[in-house]
Amino acid sequence: MSIAASGASEGRSMKDKTTSLTDAVAVLADGMTIGIGGWGSRRKPMALVHAILETQVRDLTVVSFGGPDVGMLCAAGKVREVVFGFVSLDSIPYDPNFTRARQDGAITVRELDEGMVVAGLRAAAQRLPFLPIRAGLGSDVLTYYPGIRTVRSPYPDENGDDGEELVAMPALNLDVAFVHLNRADAHGNACYLGPDPYFDDLFCLAARVRVVSCEQIVSTAELAAAAPPQALLLNRMMVDAVVEAPGGAGFTSCVPDYGRDEAAQRAYAEAASA
């Protein structure tokens, strides 16, 4: 079943975009580029990641502020390339599965400055081919990204000299984005209740198909009452599918619903190191 078909409007009511984890990941095909929300080991859509592990899909390109999502997908042989600024479990510095995949040469990487990842997602969100950024200049991020170009400002600087030559960060266009929020309604509006939205809105804006899992699906009225309006990070035109997945970020943190399950994370890291 496709997400588009499941979201058809009926009569005069808004689309109901609720679906299951299994159906939500059925949109994936070999070779797709996916974006995964959250940051490190925080508010990662782990239920959706586990659902991806159950599929036959391969050769994914994964764009992520990486945590165990990246490690698990690498360990399961789902990944061709990781586009990343870092992969870390926060309280444990490195993800052993990602470490092994790199040291075995099992995956390729596009290593970027974190700000370049943001710029690439923002370019995709704005339907621009690139955005200029200073980050990356002088570093080996450019050395190991042969396709990347610089762009000279068409405007002279304050002294009348040629403008600066900056990195032209290409758009990171995503086929599918997966994010996990605290609350959502059936139409795709969603809010975060913790301290940081991370870049989940940008991942959705950069993607063709946008999948949101959440701790709880509530009515639109309950959603609006759950948090200040500023915390309504996603609106329904940014979302194609909504999955209720209580605990769906675990073992990563999803405050205030739950913190990181450090024991479970340690167990993951130890098993991955074995």
Partner 1 sequence: MSDFTRAEVCAVACADLFADDGEILASPMGTMPLIGARLARLTSNPDLLISDGEAYLLAETPPIGGTAPLEGWLPYGKVFDVVAAGTRHVVMGANQIDRFGNQNISCLGPHEKPTRQMFGARGAPGNSVNHRTSYWVAKHASRVFVASVDFASGVGYDRASGAAGRFHDVHRVVTNLAVLDFDTPDHAMRIASVHPGVTVEQVQEQTGFPLVVPDDVPTTREPSDEELKLLREVLDPKDIRGKEVPA
Binds partner 1 (CB under 8 A): choice among 3, 21, 116, 207: 116
User: Rounded to whole angstroms, how far apart are CA atoms 43 and 48?
Assistant: 12
In contact, 49 and 75? CB cutoff 8 Å:
no
Residues 126-165 that bind partner 1 (CB under 8 A): 133-141, 143-144, 164-165
Output 11 or 228, the one with its CB closest to partner 1.
228
Does 37 bind partner 1 (CB under 8 A)? Our answer is no
In contact, 2 and 27? CB cutoff 8 Å:
yes
Does 2 bind partner 1 (CB under 8 A)? Our answer is no
Strand-by-strand arrangement of the 149-152 sheet: 130-133, 165-170, 149-152
Q: CA dihedral in degrees (8, 10, 11, 16; nearest 10)?
A: -100
Quote the least distance from Cβ 109 to partner 1, whole Å: 8
Quote the least distance from Cβ 67 to partner 1, whole Å: 12
Output 51 or 116, the one with its CB closest to partner 1.
116
Quote the least distance from Cβ 184 to partner 1, whole Å: 20
**Applying CB under 8 A, what is the total number of residues that bind partner 1?**
42
- Residue position matching structure tokens 């098993």: 271
Which residues are CB-contacts of 225 (< 8 A; sequence separation ≥ 6)?
A: none
Quote the least distance from Cβ 121 to partner 1, whole Å: 11
Binds partner 1 (CB under 8 A): choice among 197, 218, 242, 249: 197
User: Rounded to whole angstroms, how far apart are CA atoms 40 and 69?
Assistant: 9
Does 198 bind partner 1 (CB under 8 A)? Our answer is yes
Residues 42-101 that bind partner 1 (CB under 8 A): 66, 84-88, 93-94, 98-99
DSSP state letter for 67: S
Quote the least distance from Cβ 150 to partner 1, whole Å: 9
Quote the least distance from Cβ 139 to partner 1, whole Å: 4
Long-range own/partner contacts, residues 16-19 (CB < 8 A, 24 or more apart)? 16/186, 16/187, 17/186, 17/187, 17/188, 17/236, 17/239, 17/240, 17/241, 17/242, 18/186, 18/217, 18/241, 18/242, 18/243, 18/244, 19/241, 19/242, 19/243
Task: Sketch the per residue contact string, 203 through 242, with partner 1: x for CB under 8 A, - otherwise.
Answer: ----------------------------------------
Binds partner 1 (CB under 8 A): choice among 18, 27, 37, 39: 39
Neighbouring C-beta atoms of residue 61, cutoff 10 Å = 20
Q: Which residues bind partner 1 (CB under 8 A)?
A: 39, 66, 84-88, 93-94, 98-99, 102-105, 108, 111-116, 118, 133-141, 143-144, 164-166, 195-199
